[in-house]
Amino acid sequence: MKVVFIGTGEIGVPCLNSLAESDEYEVVAVVTQPDRPAGRQMRLQTSPIKQAALKWHIRIYQPQKINEKTVVAQLRYLEADVFVVVAYGQILSQAILNLPKLGCLNVHASLLPKYRGASPIQAAIRAGERYSGITIMWMDEGLDTGDILCSQRLSIRSDETAETLHDRLAELAPKTLKEGLDLLQKGKAPRMKQKEKEAIYAKKIKKEEGWIDWKQEQVAVDRQIRAMIPWPGAYTWLKVGNQRKCLKIFKTILSNRCHGKPGEVVKVDKHGILVAAKKGGLLLREVQLEGKQRMAATDFVRGFSIPIGTILESP
């Protein structure tokens, strides 16, 4: 089976590697986003998918816009049986979707119709979902609206972050994709309509969504912190002398024995920094002050005094 792999994000790397090392499939080309300047020095950075494709010596295309006529012509020439799309970053036109002989499949990191869009992993954690998973979907011109071919699910752990869930879903994706491709090869691939009434859209995360509103209940704050790891991170303001500095929070433990104003530091001890929310509180276990290194909260308070009654502020 001849495959064109279309993707950019790191979550797609295990799928590409699995296809490339298999004797059942021939990855005839990879399409990924152009190299972009990144970092303080704005050096050109290649996508994780391009890096993987280079290791396998696979032909690489990096168009600015995949739907341009010249790109469509190039992809038509490959005469692929199937296109596999994972976290590419552009909507494919019907002209592209019509090219592969057997169809165009998308590997999506949620149990559709929850959560469509750019941030399904973060959305599932913030919503307190018990399960997430990988869905293999027949692509159409909509945003994650196509029919479902197959899916596999996994449980979301109580301490799950977007980073850990991303990695676990990336491991699950190749197995789910193989299930879908096997069904496709056998001519037994189903088309199950999504239930539109259950559909939820997860928009792209913005940096300001990392700011913590302590007027939320403790569970909501905890979910927000875990959903924002690794980017953009969860932040609060901490007064340092006459200045306010960002305090980034990485790990917390829920505490029901906490009474105070939202954002108030009610206790500092060998276990960490206890902060009140609207209801209950959170014990901060790992933090990073602006300009400093990430560290255990117990180490942080040894070198930085936080008086009881200090209010961690929202922007």
- List, for residues 122-164, the tens digit of each pLDDT value: 999 999 999 999 999 999 999 999 999 999 999 999 999 999 9
**All residues at 6 or more sequence positions from 41 whose CB lies less than 8 Å from its CB, including other chains:** none
Given this model, what pLDDT does residue 243 score?
83
Supply the pTM of this predicted model.
Answer: 0.95
Given this model, what pLDDT does residue 102 score?
96
**All residues at 6 or more sequence positions from 114 whose CB lies less than 8 Å from its CB, including other chains:** 120, 123, 124, 129, 198, 199, 200
| C-alpha to C-alpha distance for 100 and 36, rounded to whole angstroms | 28
Looking at residue 194, the DSSP 8-state letter turns out to be P
Given this model, what pLDDT does residue 43 score?
84
Q: Give how far Cα 238 sits from Cα of 188, 197, 264, 287, Å.
A: 58, 43, 11, 12
pLDDT < 70 positions in the chain: none
Looking at residue 241, the DSSP 8-state letter turns out to be T
> pLDDT tens for residues 77-135?
999 999 999 999 999 999 999 999 999 999 999 999 999 999 999 999 999 999 999 99
